[in-house]
Amino acid sequence: MFKEGSPIAYDAPAELKKWPSLRGERQKDRGPPYLVYNGTLADCVRELMGKPVKGISLYDIMTKPQAAFDQTVLSPGDAAEIAMRKDFPKP
């Protein structure tokens, strides 16, 4: 998903959002996702990785495209991949 060798701006503005859900399933017909956390990309990744695994699929991270990735919505899988990068800032 990410372009190898391309740096990621971990200090870029980002928002962690959660989709409305029913019985642990996204309910896209019940409205847009709502804001859970507003901060940097690194902060949003940390916030998401701190959520219970059971409900992590209900979240997305919204940020601006970068050289390393060309999308504005990062899934929990994308966030996990970012968190495992060697250059991901440690708290």
Q: What is the tens place of the pLDDT at every residue in 44-71?
A: 999 999 999 999 999 999 999 998 988 9
pTM, full prediction: 0.90
Q: Answer whether 14's CB lies under 8 Å from 37's CB.
A: no
Spell out the alpha helix ranges (H) of 1-91.
Answer: 41-49, 76-83
Nearest-5° Cα angle at 62, 20 to 19: 5
- Domain segments of the chain as ranges: 13-83
Residue 1: pLDDT over 80: no
C-alpha distances in Å from residue 60, one per residue of 1, 4, 28: 15, 22, 13
Confidence band for 79, pLDDT divided at 50, 70 and 90: very high
